Amino acid sequence: MLATAAVIVYFGYRIRYRGDVRLVAGYDPDDVVDDEGLAALVGGVTIALGVVHGLYGLGLLYFPPTLAFWSGYFLVFLGGIAVVRVRGRRYTT
């Protein structure tokens, strides 16, 4: 999980700090009114979720992978996706 966390953080870095919005799934330049704002939002959330992914990977060393553990993981990622979906509307037409 730590290797995939590093990849997720790297993609978030590319989106947020390099403005590489073509990495965003479903990106259509005709519908986006603020590329930089969208990149900051999606990249920031992607970096945060990559860090969470890594922390959960480290957590597997100390906690058993129970239903509660994976439910928490799922809810955190679902929350991150919800943030992007709701706040991302301001950057599209």
15, pLDDT greater than 90: yes
- Read off the DSSP letter of residue 57: H
Q: pTM above the 0.85 mark? A: yes
Task: Assign 32 to helix, strand or coil.
Answer: strand
pLDDT surpasses 90 at 76: yes
* Per-residue model confidence as pLDDT tens digits over 35-60: 899 999 999 999 999 999 999 999 99
Provide the number of structural domains found in the chain. 1
Mean per-residue pLDDT for 10-27? Answer: 92
Report the alpha-carbon distance of residue 82 to residue 62 in Å, rounded.
29
pLDDT band at 30 (very low <50, low <70, confident <90, very high): confident
Which domain, by its residues, includes 44?
Answer: 2-91
Whole-number mean pLDDT of the chain?
92
